[in-house]
A and B are shown apart, each in its own frame.
Chain A
Amino acid sequence: MSNKHVISLELNGDAVEFLCEPRQTLLEVLRDILHLTGTKEGCSNGNCGACTVLFNGRPVVSCLVLAMECEDAKIRTIEGVACDGALDEIQNAFLEGAALQCGICTPGFIVQAQALLDENPNPSEDEIRFYLAGNLCRCTGYDKIVRAVQAAAEQRRAATTAG
């Protein structure tokens, strides 16, 4: 109990400090200490992707990251995807395309898709499927998720061209 450490990092754009034990994962800290429960726990061994967050821009499964590894890191979670109350193109595409059913895997997919589109604004269907293959969804059969990412990519490209 006494061996807690202070960790400082940037979380969704804000400076955040917390106390954690060495055995606590980033997932546990996000959910149980910082109360950001949008990041979901599906397996706790890195197999399902429900807890995906961006770690310095890279998607990671937060159940396999120790909180103590996050000193000075920039972490973005599902709570940081919408900007100033406005939904991101990916979130809108998921809503409009009915790309979620139970919704438990949705935050992980949206964060992973965010990383994909940052890396590759014009992914093929095969590239989308490959990039999202670490995120399990048991409800949708993936069809509408892949289409939503395609639609969001198109939206973003249109916005970039217009801008």
Chain B
Amino acid sequence: MAIADKPQYNVIGTRPIRHDGVDKVTGRAMYGADFRMAGLLHGVIVRSPYAHARIKRIDTAKAAALPGVRAVVTSDDLPQHGARQVDLGEGAVSMRHLAANVLTDDKVLYRGHAVAAVAADNVHIAEEAARLVKVEYEPLPPVLDVRAAMQPDAPILNDDVRTVFAGAPEVNADQPTNIAKHLLFEKGNPQEGFAGADLVFEREFDTTMVHQGYIEPHNATALWNADGKVTVWMSTQGSFTAREQTAELLRLPVSSVKVVPMEIGGGFGGKISVYLPPVAALLSRKSGRPVKVIMSRADVFEATGPTPGSHIRLKLGVTKDGKLNAAEAWVAFEAGAYPGSPVGMACMCVFACYDIPHARVEGFDVCVNKPRTNAYRAPGSTQVAFAIETVVDEICTELGVDPVELRLRNASRKGTQRVDGPTFARIGMEETVEAIKASSHYMSLAPQSRSPDKQCGRGVASGFWFNAGLKSSVTATVNADGTVSLIEGSTDIGGTRTSIAMQLAETLGITAEDVHPTVADTEGIGYTDVTGGSRVTFSTGIAAVRAAEDICSILADRAAALWDVPADQTKYENGGVTGPDGKRISFKELAGKLHLVGGPVTGSGISGEESQSGAFGTHCVDVEVDTETGKVQILRYTIAQDAGTAIHPSYVEGQMQGGVVQGIGWALNEEYWYDEQGMRNATFLDYRMPTCYDVPMIETIIVEVPASNHPYGVRGVGEVPICPPPAAIANAIYQATGVRMRQLPMSPPRLLAELLKS
């Protein structure tokens, strides 16, 4: 549904076949693990069996002596970083922590922590050698619970961590601690706000650590050449970020590292940090050969960056007429082994859907003996959406107000100020709620229970994500046959070659098929930030539009030269150049004549928007709860989301559907079963992500409230769809059973336990 009168587009809004499609349905597309070169060795990482231990000694002699072994490395081979802090795009981070996460030095902080690595002629020899590396550990007591880790007597993971206070008053600032950050945001006067509320709800929530679950394991092949130059072929969300991290970890200038992004088999935020490239590079330097390292599935679960578990306390005050008046949240996130959870973003997101005059949020980034966490689709927002959206639902029940009506009454709109300060530009929160209200799903009768042990219910929830801007580069060259070769730096995870090409095509007035997009390596294109933050179609799109505009202006000049008229009398419009006396030449025709008037034409464009104006979505779900087993079946699911302008509607729907199903997994099944031995369910079978038999079709409603800071009104769509599902499902479970779930996942044993209590 379009909100305003939509401009007429030729390419935007159509559904061309993606440019890399044939390669991906025939098995020809080259992913990181598919890369090979002459002399290739295979690397295997030696990992910690303990959640917390001191390393007393590492003996690599036996491993190194095994025939076929070409190199063994430990943290001794990594450069020392001291207390060096470096900004790698997400704020200053300790290089010592980054380095120790790649190959640890004196301690292991989670099961799966990398301790050493071996390269051999084949992977089987490397695995045998890895088993021969003898590591002597002194086990230490682990701390696995976020609140336990905040206690003064908790085992300390990192001696060098001191609390960073952001807005919060300083306490014990010079003590070693697991609390790496303490944030505080405040707006209005929460105390007065609660005093002015007729009803106050205060609830506590727990969520467990979950993984992005991409199907392709991390991989990297590195060649440390004799000229000192390192080339890495890998699966990454951002080749430039991977280059910077690798170069910093190896203490090389960035120009000494080239990253070649291979096709990437899913990321969702988990393929931004580097784990393997520095290790593969060290093994290559030692052996003089290229070295490929591929993680096992267990390594991916145990030793990459899942998203934090959390403990959240949330308080909402509301007036009798259903106006949210005051809000307070206390949010503690598991950072994992090293600081850096997205708790700050969680604090900014928690109340973002609503215009609440008085609010206060406190956040804590807490180290625990689990893998160092990382971004996962709208990082931090899903955990807090679960909390706020279920309390909002409780308010609706208490006041007898329809959940859609209460959301409309309180929705954030243009001018609403977030708790952390910024004010929203034109956003589509209300429109997504209206879209659900008008949907055939919401207007249909709520599902009826089939039998006493099969209870049905319907739930609604909303969600917010910022969407990132950041930097992108695009170059585009006109071919003599009237097509354009487009070079970009954004790795393509979900069809963005096409959504970028379509924006270039729209601007030039040619077809999407006439654009040939290529994702280049770090030496083939200008700096481009990660494929993350729902930013590529927005930001790299802007760069492509600018490259197209560059071409338009050059072509107008060339046509002037061709016609021998002054350059100010020609204009590029509607897919060609017009000039005086009705002169007109199409893009295609002019492309064929460029060799006569000045030669090749290449346009370039960059973008560097600070931010986007925000993405909102509202979801509606029907569930059936088996009260004998606690199993929840999703009967029907509808998502309405503001896409600004949908460039390729199929891939917008795809992001919405994919996000919802990940959210369903988070809601109902997925969790890290962690005890002192580590993760007990590090396989796909036991981690249990949704299969296609677990879910129905996901109905999508694309709402289009054009964003003002993109030439075609694009808003990122990738992340916000994961935020509402856990709360929407929890609210539906309540409608079905009368039980309020305040912990994730709402798996059969947990739900059954609550049902038996009630």
Where the two chains meet, the residues of A that have a C-beta atom closer than 8 Å to any C-beta of B are 21, 23, 31, 35-45, 47-48, 50, 77-79, 81-82, 87, 91, 94-98, 100-107, 110, 125, 128-130, 132-147
Contact = CB atoms under 8 A, between A and B. Distances in A.
Interface residues of B, number: 59
Interface string B735-754: 00000000000000000000
A59 to B, nearest CB: 15
Contacts of B268: 138
B486 interface: no
Given A38-B28, A137-B692, A98 B15 contact: yes
A54 B22 CA distance: 21
B34 A141 contact: no
A104 B654 contact: no
Given A139-B266, A140-B658, A143-B697, A104 B297 contact: no
B238 to A, nearest CB: 15
Interface in B206-238: 212-217
B213 to A, nearest CB: 5
Contact of A95 (B17, B29, B217): B17
B173 interface: no
Contacts of B20: 103
A81 B21 CA distance: 15
Contact of A101 (B22, B217, B494, B685): B494
Contacts of B29: 103
A143 B698 contact: yes
A50 to B, nearest CB: 6
A128 B689 CA distance: 18
Contact of A136 (B294, B654, B689): B689
Contacts of A48: 215, 297, 684
Given A42-B297, A136-B215, A146 B24 contact: no
DSSP majority for the A interface? loop
A82 B28 CA distance: 12
Contact of B217 (A41, A45, A100, A142): A41
A31 to B, nearest CB: 8
B695 interface: yes
Interface in B644-697: 648, 650-651, 653-655, 657-662, 683-685, 689-693, 695, 697
Nearest to A80: B27
Contact of B31 (A40, A132, A147): A40
A45 B297 contact: yes
A105 B647 CA distance: 25
B689 A138 contact: yes
A146 B650 contact: no
Interface in B14-51: 15, 17-18, 20-22, 24-31, 33-34, 36
B430 to A, nearest CB: 26
A42 B692 CA distance: 17
Nearest to A21: B124
DSSP majority for the B interface? loop
Contact of B27 (A79, A136, A139, A146): A79
Contact of A39 (B22, B27, B691): B27
B658 A78 contact: no
B519 to A, nearest CB: 13
A94 B650 CA distance: 12
| Residue of A23, A39, A43, A143 contacting most chain B CB atoms (<10 Å) | A143
B264 A38 contact: no
Contact of A87 (B22, B263, B494, B650): B22
A147 to B, nearest CB: 8
B575 interface: no
B692 A38 contact: no
B268 to A, nearest CB: 7
Interface in B518-560: none
A141 B650 contact: no
A142 B215 CA distance: 14
Contacts of B33: 31, 37, 40-41
Contacts of A138: 212-215, 266, 268, 658, 662, 689
Contacts of B216: 40, 42, 102, 104
A87 B213 CA distance: 30
A36 to B, nearest CB: 7
Contacts of B263: 102-104
Contacts of B379: none
A57 to B, nearest CB: 19
Which 4 interchain pairs have the tightest Cβ spacing?
A38-B27, A104-B265, A141-B657, A103-B24
B493 interface: yes
A29 B212 CA distance: 29
A106 B26 CA distance: 9
Given A78-B26, A104-B265, A143-B698, A133 B691 contact: yes
Contact of B692 (A81, A107, A132): A132
A2 B544 CA distance: 56
Contacts of A142: 657, 661, 690-692, 695
A95 B22 contact: yes
B290 interface: no
